[in-house]
Amino acid sequence: MVEDDHGHAKLIEKNIRRANIANDIVHFDHGDAALDYLFQEEVRRSGPLLILLDLNLPDMSGTDILERVKADERLRRAPVVVLTTTDDKGEIQRCYDLGCNVYITKPVDYEAFAGAIRQLGLFLSVMQAPEI
């Protein structure tokens, strides 16, 4: 999870747990730290299950992170959910064009968010992204 607002991060994690998802959540509040983590060889090899991404970070735009992740031959298979306050239609389309899977505007309806995460988890449990 890449989210600079710690209150939002706690709320997101709480609702992921309410969706009965027990996976580890690694939280970053700056884009550079998230990229350093994502581009470690071990993470690239095994891949993160899901990336939750805010667009408005203190050190860079989340779209920069999205672009780098989707340009990587291994990380591009990781689903990316953008969670942000930005509701500009052009920015939303840009994120989808760059490869984001779901775009959610804050404030989030957390019941719907928990349901979407549960459904995504079920989808991922039956689907295997092809090796590239």
Is 98 inside a domain boundary? Answer: yes
Is 90 inside a domain boundary? Answer: yes
Confidence of residue 62 (pLDDT cuts 50, 70, 90): very high
Q: Report residue 1 as tokens.
A: 């999870």
Q: Which domain holds residue 50?
A: 4-123
Is 86 inside a domain boundary? Answer: yes
Confidence of residue 35 (pLDDT cuts 50, 70, 90): very high
- Interacting residues of 63 by C-beta distance below 8 A, sequence separation 6+: 55, 91, 94, 95, 98
* Structure confidence at residue 6 (pLDDT): 95
Q: Report residue 127 as tokens.
A: 């689907």
More confident residue, 38 or 112: 38
* Structure confidence at residue 68 (pLDDT): 97
Is 8 inside a domain boundary? Answer: yes
Is 113 inside a domain boundary? Answer: yes
The mean pLDDT value of the chain amounts to 86
Is 70 inside a domain boundary? Answer: yes
**Number of domains the chain contains:** 1
Domain of 26: which CATH number?
Answer: 3.40.50.2300
For residue 89, count other CB atoms closer than 10 A to its CB: 7
pTM: 0.83
Nearest one of 123, 79, 67 to 104, comparing CA atoms: 79
Separation of alpha carbons 48 and 39, rounded Å: 11
